[in-house]
A and B are shown apart, each in its own frame.
Chain A
Amino acid sequence: MAQIFHPSMNTVARASIFGAIFVLGAAAWVAARIYSSPYVTEQYVAREQPVPFSHEHHVTGLGLDCRYCHTSVEDSHFAGVPPTQTCMTCHSQVWTNAEMLEPVRASFRENKPLAWTRVHALPDYVFFNHSIHVAKGIGCSTCHGQVDKMPLMWQNATLHMQWCLDCHRDPEKYIRPKDQVFNMAWPAGQKDWDQKTRGAALVAEYHVNKVQLDNCSVCHR
């Protein structure tokens, strides 16, 4: 009876057995990459909004402070999204005929709220509080990126738990003086800013309780 398999098949068999390990490993690597890729996390993906609001124009161009619209960022867990009335403080006077702003005017006219697409969505079991981060010297741009350079808003970080813990375990790496929290360009323009030593000093000065920051119940409850 003729041989079914050629002797070279032995090599193929061995190679495929050992190769399987690499194939599986590669598959796991690909899965991990996909999981943390913008495709899943929606990092760097500019989201469509009812009105193409440009932070770049309003912050860099006009010099609005973050808190002009996000009023409750220092008081509440929620930074606040401005009511239509806030838009209309200016847009009842400027660009009153711009077609782009018709949804805003319609909202005000018909008393129907605008429905913005959420850009930074945390799972329901995560209880993030803006006010305490702002109060302890964590700047807006640390998490949200340089919003003043974003014509349309996108998510600047993965928002994975690993990313949160990076700072919660070592806040020295990211903390900044309280008066610089709303500075979008931080630390650019600061002479001799040494984050390592100055960060540790600020953590002590602001009574940041490091032993507590990675407790589960700080964010999950």
Chain B
Amino acid sequence: MAFLVDDTRETLHKPAPRPFWRSLGELEQTPEFLERLHREFPVAASEWLEDVEPGAAKNPGLSRRNFLTLMGAGLSLMGLTGCTTRKPDAKIVPYVIQPEQIVPGKPIFYASALNVNGAAHGVIVETHEGRPTKIEGNPNHPASLGATNIWMQAAVLGLYDPDRSQVVAQLGGSSVSTWDKFQSAIAPMLAAKLQNGGSGMRVLSEPIVSPTLAAQAQALKRRFPNLKWHVFSPTDRGNVREGAKQTFGQPRNVVYAFDKADVVVALDSDFLIDEPGSLRYSRQFVDRRRVRKDRPEMNRLYVVESARTITGAMADHRVPTTPDAIERIANAIASGVRGGMRNTLDETTEKFVRALVDDLKQAGKFALVIAGEYQPPQVHRLCHEINAALGAVGNTVLYTDPIDAGSVDANASLAELVHDMNAGSVDLLVMLGGNPVYNAPADLDFASAMGKVATNVHLGLYEDETSFLSQWHLPQTHPLEEWSDLRAFDGTVSIVQPMIAPLYEGRSVHEVLAILLGDAARSGHEIVRGHWAEQHKDNFDFWWDKSLHDGLIEDSALPPRESNRTQAANTTAPSSQPAPAGFRITFRPDPSIGDGAWANNAWLQELPKPISKLTWDNAAYVSRATAQKLEVEEGGTIRVKYAGRELAGVPVIVVPGQPADVITLHLGYGRTRAGKIGTKLGFNAYALRTSDAPWFGAGATVTRDDADYELAVTQEHQLMHGREIVRPVSIAELRARYASAETTRAEGANVEHPKTVPLTLYNPDEWENKGNKWGMVIDQTACTGCNACVVACYAENNVPTVGKEQVIRNREMAWLRIDTYFSAADAEETEPAANPETYFQPMLCQHCETAPCELVCPVGATTHSAEGLNEMTYNRCVGTRYCSNNCPYKVRRFNYLEYNGEVSQTQAMQKNPDVTVRQRGVMEKCSYCVQRINLARIDAKKQGREHGLVREGEVLTACQQSCPTQAIVFGNLNDPQSQVKKLKEEPTNYGLLTELNTEPRTTYLERVRNPNPAMKS
């Protein structure tokens, strides 16, 4: 055995060929980092040391006497638990009349749609005896393709939020009222408005993507001809809309076909997460990147960006730059594509653009240039021009009619409204959703304008900042409680159907509009069904049932429209402008809680944001160079002066790859009335945002602030001692590997493994189960780091959230995390943190065949199943935490406190009834969704299949099902036809830390990159 030990030790100590690091602390090997590295439970180990003042005693901490006192008390209290031996009386409460479809104990699935990123995403909702517990994507819906994003997953928690507004409230939520009182109060006002045609009456809503709502808005305008309908959303895609309008002379909706794109250039576009069609785009984009033995081809992505996004992390070439420089680059690309590039760029960028233009020209109509909503209309015009010049229009880019009714520019619309309010010409303002007091541009000062309106009515899910200043607050139904309809990114219409009767006294937007239309008795169901009954007269009942069942209306996508550019974009404008002085500010919706509407959602708050791994806060993202310039470190704060406004005490987080001199501020935090969870977290970046520059601006003065601020960042949690676990490979290297026929498992990559045969004394055939043998493969080339799987795991497995203070103590409970590694492309790079390559690695229990955790459990609480699962039996666990100590992957999470103890009655309804709700003092971890496996196996056994053999596709883990790019593949390794088995035979397949003889059932496919050979790095 000695030689083996030596081998292993050698592997462990062999320096990785290229340094990968998780955080700047690791890069610099700071003392704080090393401390964290060597102590897995840093806080628990010194539980009672903390309260002792430094220097108070020679031997601080717990004395032997105190230790014995606590120990004795603990033992006797433990004995007391034995006193309740008799089971409490439980009741079974059956139905009086059982609904026909319900089989007690079996879930029912319904199709519906949710409005995320301003458009419909088709969902399938799992309900148990009438309570929705889990949301999955609808495979037939074009915007979902079966996948979900974090917001779709988190919507089910929002439904049960006990902080939602429950009753009608009058003036600032202080006085409880009723719908009847509201209706009798508004009736005389409406009667007066009918006399004058609705002068002085305004409606403010979010952009309208519901056909029924659009029809109701039309009807309202007919009833009150002088009424004006305004639209506002802080994340409105005004730049996209305006760019198309300027180019084509009329509003156009832009739809991309990434499945046809060989070369993609993203200019400040985070198309993998924040486009209305992001889930579809992610799938199509990644489908072109799945490199397999028989298909060694992939697309190429260039990203030029002024912030840090997951799209940038997926890029083969990423250029971090200032937001204003992107227009110059777009100009250069446009002129280059037309021939004869005008040079207004610095030397490096110019070289980059020349190579990029060559690549684009070569791809021709299979190229795609996409501008993000954060860039001004001019950049969008340039992109339309470039795509047209390349011939990509009609192939990778399609234009349709707009999906939002009226296609109104939100900022202009709100500015007009505020102007009229200040002028005193508005006396009745009805706000249907939205929260303009919190998120309207700071220069408009919506709150004070509201003071000049006699009656403000606000419909909302929460009694928020806007409700507080309104005369009437009306509770809104949650999307899972109401009838409605929505258009998707391509115009496809879905009917939204309720999964549960409203928990509180909420009404939908449609029902509130019915009050204004003088038809208060009509239910949401009648309104929506009535709208569609008018359009589909023949065989309507069948059509309606089918549309509900399918989750979408057949053939309702908007057809592509021939679009002629009316005028060429002006490509000369910005070339001679000098670069503005000072720091640039870029605003972005928060990666987790968006524009702030999700602020009270604990799953999203605790979700580590991609790349920075920050939880429970927002912070100013700065580069290391900027931090040094400002003499501020992580945990310090800055004071930002921008456009005449000032924000002090802004915490700083140093993010590798953040563009120099650009400070990214995320919107959505600093809420004052969000609810118990979201209130008073972070700072409010809206306070700096103006209506003329919604996404970026220059000339910010930034100085160091004295205050300290503790951030909960999980980047350095669960470290793995710098062992070599991320392995990038370029497509060129991979082709060479295929060619050299050296395609056996895990070899030929950039490290040689000492162990290629299993080190076991047993004959594996003796004990191995002949039925299912579960395994998983995670394709790191496909993982975009979008976090959907993490939230899906929270929802499926009843994973508790722990709060900011506990996250700081390394106690977050997520069973699945996405580790982010950085590495400078060039090892010689002087500033490795300037623009490192970024690697995402979803990390969950590896279900080792020879699991180190199982050996050390003193009570047999973690064992191995015949199908190869590493089982965790909570009722046996006594909480020694030895298993976690011995786990090389650091995937076990310990329940320190009664995190599930304080869930409200409504939140308890969200819990998955098929999974134990764990109490404190037990270890937990990924189970490969054993509840789903068991149900699938029971079904298989009931059908009489031998060994309970589960067929491919009959069981999907929650993470696998949610993944937009199908990066996670799970299945039966005994089935030679299963996808997972085939992937395990790919030459890019490798297991993590296999030199420890753990034999993990989860393996990874190497991250394949496709750099342009014409470019260095």
Chain A residues in contact with chain B, CB under 8 A?
34-35, 39-40, 42, 71-72, 75-78, 80-85, 107-108, 111-118, 121, 123-125, 127, 129, 131-132, 135-136, 206-207, 209, 211-212, 215-218, 220-221
Contacts and interface: CB of A to CB of B under 8 A. Distances in A.
A114 B86 CA distance: 24
A217 B864 CA distance: 9
Contact of B103 (A40, A75, A125, A212): A75
B97 A114 contact: no
B86 A84 contact: no
Contact of A117 (B89, B95, B869, B938): B89
B865 A212 contact: yes
B707 to A, nearest CB: 46
A121 B769 CA distance: 33
Given A76-B103, A116-B92, A116-B93, 7 more contacts: A40-B86, A72-B106, A116-B94, A125-B875, A207-B948, A215-B867, A215-B871
B96 A111 contact: yes
11 contacts: A76-B103, A76-B104, A85-B95, A118-B91, A124-B917, A132-B938, A207-B941, A207-B944, A209-B948, A212-B771, A221-B916
B91 A116 contact: yes
A174 to B, nearest CB: 17
Would you list the 5 A-B pairs with minimal beta carbon distance, nearest first? A78-B105, A76-B105, A83-B95, A118-B90, A215-B865
Contacts of B977: none
Contacts of B497: none
B863 interface: yes
Nearest to B865: A215
- If over half of B's interface residues share one DSSP class (helix, strand or loop), that class is named, otherwise mixed; here it is loop
Contacts of B181: none
A145 B98 CA distance: 28
B941 A132 contact: yes
B1016 interface: no
Contacts of A207: 941, 944-948
Interface in B95-140: 95-98, 103-106
B94 A84 contact: yes
A217 B871 contact: yes
Contacts of A115: 91-93
B873 interface: yes
A221 B865 contact: no
B85 A35 contact: yes
A79 to B, nearest CB: 9
Contacts of B915: 221
A146 B460 CA distance: 57
Contacts of B103: 71-72, 75-76, 80
A221 B930 contact: yes
Nearest to B916: A125
A72 B87 contact: no
A115 to B, nearest CB: 4
Interface string B873-895: 11110000000000000000000
Given A40-B86, A129-B938, A209-B947, A113 B96 contact: yes
B916 A40 contact: no
Interface string B916-945: 110000000001001100100010011011
Contacts of B945: 207
Contact of A135 (B873, B876, B916, B941): B941
A123 to B, nearest CB: 7
B91 A117 contact: yes
B10 interface: no
B866 interface: yes
Contacts of B866: 209, 211-212, 215
B445 interface: no
A83 B914 contact: no
Contacts of A77: 105
Contacts of B941: 132, 135-136, 207, 209
Nearest to A81: B94
For B927, B930, B931, the residue with the greatest tally of chain A CB atoms inside 10 Å of its CB is B930
A136 B942 CA distance: 8
Contact of B874 (A72, A112, A125): A125
Nearest to B942: A135
Nearest to A109: B96
Nearest to A42: B87
B865 A72 contact: no
A77 B938 CA distance: 10
A221 B931 contact: yes
Contact of A75 (B106, B865, B869, B916): B106
Contacts of A72: 103-106
Nearest to A78: B105
Contacts of A118: 89-92
Contacts of B917: 124
A172 B87 CA distance: 31
Nearest to A69: B94
Contacts of A211: 769, 866
A134 B947 CA distance: 17
A217 B916 contact: no
A156 to B, nearest CB: 16
Given A42-B87, A217-B927, A221-B916, A83 B94 contact: yes
B927 A221 contact: yes
A17 B915 CA distance: 50
Contacts of B944: 206-207
A190 to B, nearest CB: 24
B800 to A, nearest CB: 16
A35 B103 CA distance: 36
Interface in B935-971: 938, 941-942, 944-948
A72 B104 CA distance: 7
B863 A113 contact: no
A85 B948 contact: no
Nearest to A126: B875
A113 to B, nearest CB: 5
A124 B94 contact: no
Given A35-B85, A135-B942, A221-B916, A114 B94 contact: yes
For A111, A114, A125, A131, the residue with the greatest tally of chain B CB atoms inside 10 Å of its CB is A125
Contact of A113 (B93, B867, B916, B927): B93
Contacts of B98: 83, 85
A121 B90 contact: yes
B863 A216 contact: yes
Contacts of A84: 94-97
A217 B89 contact: no
Interface string B51-94: 00000000000000000000000000000000001110111111
B94 A216 contact: no
A11 to B, nearest CB: 34
Contact of A132 (B874, B931, B942): B942
Contact of B934 (A39, A76, A78, A127): A127
A107 B106 CA distance: 25
A113 B93 CA distance: 6
For B94, B917, B941, the residue with the greatest tally of chain A CB atoms inside 10 Å of its CB is B94
A157 to B, nearest CB: 14
Interface in B334-358: none
Contacts of A206: 944
A131 B92 contact: no
Contacts of A220: 871, 873-875, 916
A118 B90 CA distance: 5
A55 B793 CA distance: 43
A80 B102 CA distance: 11
A211 B947 CA distance: 10
A160 to B, nearest CB: 12
A118 B89 CA distance: 7
Contact of B97 (A35, A83, A124): A83
A170 to B, nearest CB: 17
Nearest to A207: B946
A109 to B, nearest CB: 10
Contacts of A39: 86
For B105, B106, B865, the residue with the greatest tally of chain A CB atoms inside 10 Å of its CB is B105
A11 B103 CA distance: 71
A211 B869 CA distance: 14
